[in-house]
Structure 1
């Protein structure tokens, strides 16, 4: 088993450990009534999108999510939360340096003693969720599990759903799939983006992601008998008919969306194996993006 698969399999136990930090996370992430910005790059940006939707839906206050490289200090925020597994991503550090004085800055990371620590007043350290793999799996899902608990969600079912997803049948035979479409609604739109990224990173495969209802507004045109349309959360059931009408395989289940992401991660690894690829060493990728002045 490769390291990425081992880290995927560890997620239910890691989530349980993370939930012991709910009170600490509530202090730094919930902040009722504050206006909050959440930033990150790549996977962390998609996690930021999920958290922003979850926080607003919980009635805790206005919350935005911005890709760190696109942050501009144009709006006033009470709090900026920066998500970075390594704590070294250049764009995240640059964004934090631009945050106006007086704004509370929080770092969510997996590694202590990194440059991000010097740019934040508070830190949520999830070192037990760190990964050796370049491809992120358990760190982002752990951040999301902890944020959901901090916002008051009952997650007593989560670990069991995750374990079920580890033993569930894959949604399709990887040998038959050349194209994947991930759909979500509300906070699971960010999960759809993350699932599509996992397929691109691990398997170098053609994958897309959309807010669910937008699938009919053009993207369905490229679906065919070699497509898998995978739905997260409460996506309208009629979209399965839309996918099937294009010849695609469709998949949904009633497990927690984070457990559904575990299944999508497993499929990405299986697709990589089908293509003779090593997900521990994805093409052109590194654990952290650190840019030089020449870039």
Structure 2
């Protein structure tokens, strides 16, 4: 289901298609309509999902490894803090690390649930990570969250007794280069599956995102017109992984022409803050958690008082306290958790990246001018694990 509006972000869809941006624009704009579908999908599979997950999550020694490559890895980084807060041993480990150092990141004697996030389900690292976990871990289970019914991961999951797959609607299988709908949909599906977001939580996020799309265009256009050379995204806890995804989205869609950085508000002072100059935009993703928000607001005030950045902007779930101008406050999100906030937050960042890409004369659906970076990674050779110092499940 792609958005069929005549305009997206103030641009006629025919012009977007001509500019090579139609897929990405529609995939960004459709997200508020897709999220309630994900909520309903997980609810419909609740009984089967609980039959698989509940016995595992009840085990005190279970290790949960959240994995994926690139954007899919950042899903784990966003989810892990919330899952740790529930008392589970959750770790975000990219497939790119698991494949290159499997005996460092997989523990043979520890019962493990490997949660694999995959838009296509066919990237070589994702497939290899599942195989290596089966080879190295004595007791391993797999939860696959994917957007592609034809992907290898989905097929593998259906054939294994130790696996469960959540296949998301076809609309989530982004056709554009950048992961947009797939990222937010997999994040939401996992948060609902593990109960770190309550059923029905998508409704508030969708309403807030719709309001943001309707009201934020003048601000987005003004940011693009400044032609910032550097953009920094800052977020605490669950929002740190989101800041990383926001920075990658801008880097990808501008083909590396805009330098993008991410950090936590507290970590930013420890050296990375030196990047700030008059050509830098800093975006602070404000937390709704009262404790973390204090640190976020301290840094926000500091950056504004420094006067070095070209622009300092904050996204917030609350209209107050409002430390100065340029705070984008979402409607109806005053009491939302970080993962619910993450959905409209990243939609804003995706929209900025798309408009910036167009302003640079690029084609956002295929932004790599050289053609050396592709939608599904190519050129990766997977080498067999040598030696006999691993546990065989065969």
TM range (shorter): over 0.9
- Tell me how far apart the structure 1 counterparts of residues 184 and 148 of structure 2 sit (CA, whole Å): 16
> Unpaired segments of 5 or more residues in structure 1?
none
Q: Would you say 1:124 and 2:134 are equivalent positions?
A: no
- Tell me how far apart the structure 2 counterparts of residues 263 and 251 of structure 1 sit (CA, whole Å): 12
- Tell me how far apart the structure 2 counterparts of residues 29 and 146 of structure 1 sit (CA, whole Å): 14
Do the aligned residues in 1 keep the contact of 2:244 with 2:262 (CA within 8 Å)?
yes
Q: Would you say 1:144 and 2:187 are equivalent positions?
A: yes
Q: Which has the larger radius of gyration?
A: 2
> Unpaired segments of 5 or more residues in structure 2?
1-15, 17-21, 158-162, 288-292, 318-329, 331-340, 384-394
* Alpha-carbon spacing, 1:285–1:165, altered in 2? closer, same or farther (3 Å): farther
Aligned-pair CA distance for 1:106: 1.8
Q: How does 1:178-217 map to 2 (within 5 A)?
A: 178-203=229-254, 204=256, 205-217=258-270
- Tell me how far apart the structure 2 counterparts of residues 294 and 146 of structure 1 sit (CA, whole Å): 29
Residue 247 of structure 1 is matched in structure 2 by 309
Aligned-pair CA distance for 1:85: 0.5
Residue 34 of structure 2 is matched in structure 1 by 14
Aligned-pair CA distance for 1:29: 6.5
Residue 377 of structure 2 is matched in structure 1 by 289
Task: Select 1:67's aligned residue among 94, 98, 101.
Answer: 94
- Tell me how far apart the structure 1 counterparts of residues 358 and 171 of structure 2 sit (CA, whole Å): 27
Task: Select 2:152's aligned residue among 115, 131, 142.
Answer: 115
* Alpha-carbon spacing, 1:69–1:164, altered in 2? closer, same or farther (3 Å): same
Q: Would you say 1:41 and 2:83 are equivalent positions?
A: no
Task: Select 1:153's aligned residue among 192, 197, 204.
Answer: 197
TM-score (norm 2): 0.70
- Tell me how far apart the structure 2 counterparts of residues 222 and 29 of structure 1 sit (CA, whole Å): 44
Q: How does 1:209-228 map to 2 (within 5 A)?
A: 209-228=262-281
* Alpha-carbon spacing, 1:168–1:285, altered in 2? closer, same or farther (3 Å): farther
CA deviations 1:5-24 (Å, max 9, x no partner) are 11100000110100012343
TM-score (norm 1): 0.92
Task: Select 1:164's aligned residue among 190, 197, 211.
Answer: 211
- Tell me how far apart the structure 2 counterparts of residues 13 and 220 of structure 1 sit (CA, whole Å): 37
Do the aligned residues in 2 keep the contact of 1:35 with 1:63 (CA within 8 Å)?
yes
- Tell me how far apart the structure 2 counterparts of residues 77 and 42 of structure 1 sit (CA, whole Å): 26
Task: Select 2:282's aligned residue among 207, 229, 233.
Answer: 229
| Secondary structure in 1 matching 2:57 | coil
Do the aligned residues in 1 keep the contact of 2:119 with 2:148 (CA within 8 Å)?
yes
Query: How many equivalent residue pairs?
Result: 294
Aligned-pair CA distance for 1:114: 2.0
Q: Would you say 1:79 and 2:126 are equivalent positions?
A: no
- Tell me how far apart the structure 1 counterparts of residues 212 and 281 of structure 2 sit (CA, whole Å): 18
- Tell me how far apart the structure 1 counterparts of residues 53 and 303 of structure 2 sit (CA, whole Å): 37
Aligned-pair CA distance for 1:294: 9.3
* Alpha-carbon spacing, 1:82–1:7, altered in 2? closer, same or farther (3 Å): same
* Alpha-carbon spacing, 1:20–1:173, altered in 2? closer, same or farther (3 Å): same
Alignment RMSD (CA, Å): 2.1
Residue 225 of structure 2 is matched in structure 1 by 175
- Tell me how far apart the structure 2 counterparts of residues 221 and 293 of structure 1 sit (CA, whole Å): 38
| Secondary structure in 2 matching 1:280 | coil
CA deviations 1:16-74 (Å, max 9, x no partner) are 10001234365367753342111100000001111222222233x11011110211243
